[in-house]
Amino acid sequence: MPIVDLANPSRFLALTARLMPWLIGATVLAFAVGLVMVKGAPDDYQQGATVKIMFIHVPSAWLAMGIWALMAIATFGTLVWRHPLADVAAKAAAPIGAAFTALCLITGMLWGRPMWGTYWVWDARLTSVLVLFLMYLGVIALWRTVEDPSRAARAAAILTLVGALNLPIIKWSVDWWNTLHQPASVVRLAGPAIHPTILMPLLAMAVAFLLLMVTLHLAAMRNEILRRRVRTLMLMQAQAAPGSAS
């Protein structure tokens, strides 16, 4: 099947229906493997067992940024080609991104209290991730405020592109400013600074979270396509009603 055929919502729904059981199975398996590896991972020589929080905090942080990047890419489909499936992808991704950003913030606070002595500091990394969370809420609110999906998509696309400027700030905030948050220890030019016994479970959990995100996103896209069909049918019903203007 040519890739362009997937841009057809009906074909997309058919493909999603076929893929979904496999994706759910792969996600459950990946989490089972990841959690077994987490259980067997040693404590950190400085942080003790609290390093186990990293196995959910870091994948959540990666997804928080990755989902906004995905939304930013989808906006090109909206603004350049005006393709409805691009709107659907961006709209469906926003609540999932907000949830993973919230998880990143919550686990970060729960990790910060025993390690830093505080749940929160207004340093560049924490603040820029909080800004990302607020921008997710802003995009969700925008989608819900504007009734016409195509108009909402264009407004949300502009906000998404503006918000994408925050992504490099989040990534390099720990290098540009003096922050309480530690510098990058996995994705860095010199290679990971984490011992393989901790790095491997982290990567396994990252794969599990990625599969979870893909599964949830496809399911949410399917719902959004159905919602638009319902809206179209309701408009048709209203137009066909006796006494309507048309």
Partner 1 sequence: MNLGPHAAFIVGSYAAAIAIVAGLIAWIAIDHRAQKRRLETLEARGVTRRSERAS
Residues that bind partner 1 (CB under 8 A): 10, 39, 43, 48-50, 52-53, 56-57, 60, 95-96, 99-100, 102-103, 106-107, 110-111, 113-114, 212, 216, 219-220, 222-223, 226-227, 229-230, 232-234, 236-237, 240
The 3-state DSSP class for residue 44 equals strand
Q: CB nearer to partner 1: give 113 or 188.
A: 113
Minimum distance of partner 1 from residue 43's CB (angstroms): 7
Q: CB nearer to partner 1: give 132 or 212.
A: 212
Q: CB nearer to partner 1: give 100 or 136.
A: 100
Minimum distance of partner 1 from residue 218's CB (angstroms): 10
Tokens of 4: 């362009």
Q: CB nearer to partner 1: give 56 or 174.
A: 56
Q: CB nearer to partner 1: give 154 or 227.
A: 227
First to last CA, the chain: 40
**Residue 6: its H or E element:** none
Cα(153)–Cα(87) distance, rounded to whole angstroms? 6
Minimum distance of partner 1 from residue 170's CB (angstroms): 20
Minimum distance of partner 1 from residue 224's CB (angstroms): 9
Minimum distance of partner 1 from residue 106's CB (angstroms): 5
Q: CB nearer to partner 1: give 49 or 80.
A: 49
Cβ-contact 97, 130 below 8 angstroms: no
Minimum distance of partner 1 from residue 139's CB (angstroms): 17
Tokens of 221: 């896209």
Sequence-separated contacts (24+) of 71-77 with Cβ below 8 Å: 71/97, 71/139, 71/160, 72/160, 72/161, 72/163, 72/164, 72/167, 74/160, 75/156, 75/157, 75/158, 75/160, 75/161
Cα(55)–Cα(136) distance, rounded to whole angstroms? 23
Tokens of 220: 């949410």
